[in-house]
Amino acid sequence: MALYNLIMTLIVVGLKLWHYLAPHKGNDTLRENERFTPPGQRPARAPLIWVHGASNGELTATKSLLADILERAPDCQLVITTNSLTARDMVTGWALPRTVARLAPVDQRAVTAAFLDALRPSALVILENELWPNRLSLCAARKIPVLVLGARMSARSASLWQRFPGIGRKLMSAINWLAPQDEASRERFLSLGLAKDKMGPTVTLKSAVKAERQPTDLPYERDRTILAASTHEREEGVVIDAFRRLIDEGHADLHLILAPRHPRRRDEIEALTEARSLTFATRSRGQEPEKGVQVYLADTMGEMPRWYAAAAITFVGGSLTDRGGHTPFEPAAYGSAIIHGPDVANFAAAYAALSAAGAAVEISDAPTLRQAFSDLLLDPARRQDMTQNAARVLTSTDDETGLANFLTALGSLAGLHLRSRQPYTRS
């Protein structure tokens, strides 16, 4: 831990110098200073829960759960921290009562200690796999319960922690309750030293996403609209090539919504689209989709439900790379037929269930993607079967049980008086 703390201190010093010397960033620099400065003092008697999620996906999946906590514990407050400005602003936009969104404190001992001293939370709830050593050890020292929901531990991460068994055991001892994302993660957490009596039921966090009513003002027919969701470098070219082939083959009325994982890559993706002689418009430039526009670059954050609702077919990004693929739960929730590449390690069990049910199509390159698009566009009955089967296999009663178990554990560990609502529902 001493070496880790030295490294983190040097990182904090470097970041502060960088922010000080980066006046061109304007308001973003001021907002990112939240990573180093504690929040204001909270009301003394109101119970407060610190919830941390890295980014949009896991936070979106738990929006209804967080609203449920606030409704069932009317004296409770939430401070929700994120690792990105876009996720922070998304949570702020939800306008949940008694809730503040902030950037997460840097995991340096003095910074984290000041954050905890200011908030004095009744519990820390971690979503998925944000296990930071100082955050956990300082919570343990202050007897702040730590609950981890939908915890994911990859084989690579487990191997890394096993190289530092002392730190691994210390982290595990700071956790009071943990619901793993899958059975493989369960075994890895146990092997790192998590006590069996602290292990909760399996919960696939992103399965909690539910379809919400979205604007229907896009001038595209849903049956003729394709979405490429959360794409990464080298994937956009594959998608655009496949789409260009479809246009050349006579599908002139098709539309592609391209939603990259990282909006900062806008210029690069625009150049790829222009090179294929496709007409396009870009969300971040204030351009709305129009009937004659073939490709709409949806390069903003927090609007994915709108794009899922607008597309009959979704290619899930991160699956033609080594990134493990992104969630199939969101397109399934919106009834969009799922296509993906071979790398789906992040959601291996979900994609295996989809494959067994014939509820998704796996592709490997632009030609196979073009063929999958073509087959599904020409066969609406197959699309309907796929979406119905996807909704069936990705809906787990085990997750409902796990979320109810989490609420019970949170109430007990944090001393919350939760109004009864059984069984737990996501609506």
Would you state the pLDDT for residue 312?
96
Would you state the pLDDT for residue 64?
86
Would you state the pLDDT for residue 29?
47
Preceding peptide of 219 cis, ω within 30°? no
Does domain 33-204+398-414 fall under CATH 3.40.50.11720? My reply is yes
Would you state the pLDDT for residue 398?
56
Query: Domain ranges in the chain?
Result: 33-204+398-414, 222-393
Would you state the pLDDT for residue 424?
47
Would you state the pLDDT for residue 207?
66
Give the pLDDT confidence of 201-231 residue by residue, as tens digits: 988 876 666 666 666 678 899 999 999 999 9
Sheet holding 99-103, edge to edge: 99-103, 77-82, 48-52, 123-127, 146-151, 177-180
- Give this prediction's pTM: 0.76
CB-CB contact of 382 with 356 (8 Å): no
Would you state the pLDDT for residue 425?
47
Neighbouring C-beta atoms of residue 181, cutoff 10 Å: 25
Low-confidence ranges of the chain (pLDDT < 70): 15-16, 18-32, 41-44, 206-216, 396-398, 421-427
Rounded CA-CA distance 207/203 in Å is: 8
Would you state the pLDDT for residue 336?
96
Would you state the pLDDT for residue 208?
61
Would you state the pLDDT for residue 426?
44
Domain boundaries 222-393, CATH class: alpha beta
